[in-house]
Amino acid sequence: MNLNAPLKTSDPRHFGRVALLVGGDSAEREVSLNGGRAVLAALKHNEIDTELFDGSTALFEAIREGRVDRVFNLIHGPGGEDGAIQGALQLMHVPITGAGLLGSALSMDKARSKWVWERQGIKTPPFVLLNEGEILNDETIEEWGLPLFVKPAGLGSSIGISKVSGRNGIETAISLARQYSDDVIIEPEIRGDEYFAGIIGELVLPLIRIETPREFYDYTAKYESDDTRYFCPCGLPEETEREMQSRSLKAFSALDCSGWGRVDFIMDEAGEAWFLEVNTTPGMTSHSLVPQAAEQMGIDFDELVWRILESSL
């Protein structure tokens, strides 16, 4: 897909009646609501017939009443990115933006997405998966050393993630992660720069590199801090950036993702890329990365929203 190519349609009537789905009840609710306000304004600017729905219950009622032709999904986390809404709408024959059931479910589950990548030869940091009730053994700590990252296995927006620099903090970090997911993954720190590749269709947007004075790119750095610095162009040599765009698309496709999304990776001090995760419904707030990368290509927010919606045609 070439963003400089003609749009699939220039007539907002081709989208029919669009349901903008936001909110939900996951820990990422506020991020969804913030992005939803911006996307709703863009849909209105584009003269697209849009109705806002907070959560899936009201949406399903509207579908049964024949008031919805397609869905612009902006729910983050469980209930929005984990395949649940995608599967339900598939049965109802209602198109939705973003990845389908399988791609959404795989990407939401950090452990299983990493297993797929490992099978495909796509580098991802080594990890330990702790199921409910399990604890981290001393041998892993001795092998990897500190610091370690402790993450919920099924959530985004860096919610519930801790960087642990001392042994006495591991149990607390696991307890925090388990507030959001029964399963927890633990990874060694990969030192290097963090990059983000926005994807629309088959096109990978210009890479963004971030710098934050915080311990890592956590929720505050993503959505609240004015001290996070975003670099686009990212500073990589042109050939290297093209290579990383290609590898990001491969990582995206390996998880059966489609439509639009974002791939996150770290490039270590030796120049090796380690893929972290895929977001199938990235943030669309003022701090969000996909809108920034699209703008670098001359795509303003209203057009970006139009093109995301086009992916559901």
Residues that are catalytic: 28, 157, 223, 262, 264, 277, 279, 283
- CA 49 to CA 43: how far, in whole Å? 8
Helix (H) or strand (E) holding 241: helix 238-254
Tokens 């296995």 found at: 153
CA torsion angle 38 283 74 26 (round to 10): -120
Angle at 200 between CA 197 and CA 203, to 5 degrees: 75
Query: Which parts of 39-191 are beta strand (E)?
Result: 50-54, 70-73, 128-130, 148-152, 162-164, 184-188
Contact criterion met (CB below 8 Å) for 23 and 55: yes
Contact criterion met (CB below 8 Å) for 177 and 162: yes
Q: Rounded to a whole number, what is the distance in angstroms from the first to the last CA of the chain?
A: 14
Helices 238-254, 110-119: inter-axial angle, 10-degree rounding: 110
Other CB atoms within a 10 A radius of the CB of residue 143 amount to: 11
For 69-105, b/e burial (b = at least 16 CB within 10 A) is bbbbbbbbbbbbbbbbbbebbeeeebebbbbbbebbb
Burial class (CB in 10 A: 0-12, 13-18, 19+), 224: exposed
